[in-house]
Amino acid sequence: MKMKFVQITVTLSFLISSCWALNRTWWKHDLTYGIYLKSFMDSNGDGIGDFKGLISKLDYIAGLGIKTIWMSPFNPSPQADGGYDISDFCGINPIYGTMEDFEEFMKEMKKRDLNFVMDLVLNHSSDEHEWFEKSVNRVEPYTDYYVWADPKGYDSEGNPIPPNNWKSIMDFITPSSGWTWNEKRHQFYFHQFLAKQPDFNLRNEQLKTELKNMMKFWLDKGVAAFRLDAVECLMEDPLHRDDIDTESFIKAICAESEMETPRLHHPDTFKFLHELRMFLRQYDRENKKQRETALFGEIYTTVNIKMRYYGTKSAPQTHYPYNYLLTVLRKYLDAEQMIEYLNQWIKKLPKGATSNWALGNHDQGRIFYWFNKEYNSILLSLVTMLPGAALIWYGEETSQELFDFSPDPNKNLYVERDHFRLPMQWDDSLNAGFTSGDKPWVPVHPSYYRSNVKEQLANKNSTLYYFKDLISLRKTETLKFGDLKMYAISKWVLAFTRTFGQSKYVIVLNLGTEPHTANLHAEIANLPTSLEVVAASPNSGFTKGEKFNTILDHRNLSMLRPHSSIVLST
């Protein structure tokens, strides 16, 4: 009896320890729901989403099975770049509510055991920030808070010449200088993005202290993690040496080249990331936090370079850089091509690192815009069933669409991205139930009368319910810890398995535009002749609880409809 008591005690201790570790590293298997606050839910009829509106929809989000919310910046801003031009890092933009509204939002999040990921913009501020105004006037200690430089010289008309050939990322279609002359200070300031977004000089220790204090301000209010914006741009060559030619730079920023450039992925950026990780670790220790504060990175580059942003055991960087492979998929891939495409990330992942998969976002739009609406089930299956964390953009759970309403189709869509940020379609009432006002800040998609949350909640065979099934499955040990194997069952049928102990899930995707059979038994070893359908996309022709034959027979029950997906279980 004594030995049994010892064994039970040890087992219980192990389970408690494992649960603590899972709770602490909540971000490893998490699915994050990305929100553009301005477009989610309007509470006061002014056509702009706000915190009170978001609070009213938290039960909906929690009901999906989601545990984490990320949203784009909500700080005071002139809105030159959708809120990423911040004029007060510790404030709330009045269009979204008050600090009291934010604090109420955090209380309601805590009630539902939801985590909040805050967008962290450390590359730049707005030119209307008081720090920049004081820097222009050389008021200490703000004089060197930004990247300033003298002109290289003057042209024949006496105009100052920029220090080097660095271009603005925001104008890469018709490149313009990343340097803007300030007549008052009589120097150029650098901006990777818009002229209204002057770059911080992150080599200034006083500035870094200010930014860390700002992070602590939000951590004290309950923020669980930060999504660090524009990581590859944080630091540039301090000698301001000329960049590579513009064409090569464009390829580098578009992740089409790994060519070295003085203004992207600078070694000092990695040192700064490690410094931030140590700051967060110290904060957690001092505050005895049970859940680790995480740092995620928005980085647009090749997979090879992106892997460097995980860092090492002795010098960690981000907890993970966002994996945008799926967001930039622009053509149909057959099964073998898809496996090769996914392996670009999977096979290069550092040992012990957490993978992640993202669909659309505020910059990339909604991926199935490039395909068709039915293809969304394929994408939802991939992003939720592959190992690691995941990120989806609001409305993807209902296959919400986007459209280009811009009156000027020749505008640079890298700047004009509001068609990626359309209002959430809640029901079939005026303006999709997003606002009680006459006009939302941007148009609602014309499909709202037939495609909305209310309509899909009333239909058990909807994309929304399929998504909820996928989220529920993600919480099992098999989907958290299971091994991954991928199979090209036929040219257009892709299957992958997640196995943990005796438990196995088989995810089957018809990537093609025609019906295809799936002879799983011929490719996947040790499968029973029949599996149970535990999740099925609305277009699959299957229902939960139905049996799926892994061997072809005369009933042809293994026929998959075009662009459909199912999850099978042993």
Other C-beta atoms closer than 10 Å to the C-beta of 483 total: 11
Q: 298, 396, 397, 418: which one is catalytic? A: 298
List the one residue out of 35, 65, 62, 40 whose CA is nearest residue 50: 40
Does residue 361 sit in helix, strand or coil? strand
> Phi/psi of residue 565, each to 5°?
-150, 150
- Return d(Cα 179, Cα 167) in angstroms, integer: 8
Strands 31-35 and 179-182: unpaired
298 annotated active-site? yes
- How many residues would you count in the chain? 570
- Return d(Cα 64, Cα 126) in angstroms, integer: 36
Q: 229, 374, 397, 418: which one is catalytic? A: 229
- Return d(Cα 132, Cα 286) in angstroms, integer: 32
| Six token digits for residue 45 | 């009829």
- Alpha-carbon distances of 508 from 27, 310, 389, 468, 567, rounded to whole Å: 27, 31, 20, 18, 6
Cβ atoms of 58 and 67 within 8 Å: the answer is no
127 annotated active-site? no
Identify the sign of the CA torsion 308, 310, 313, 317: positive
* Cis amide linkage into residue 141, ω under 30° from 0: yes
Cβ atoms of 136 and 185 within 8 Å: the answer is yes
Cβ atoms of 500 and 353 within 8 Å: the answer is no
| Six token digits for residue 235 | 């630091």
Cβ atoms of 486 and 342 within 8 Å: the answer is yes
Question: Catalytic residue numbers?
Answer: 229, 298
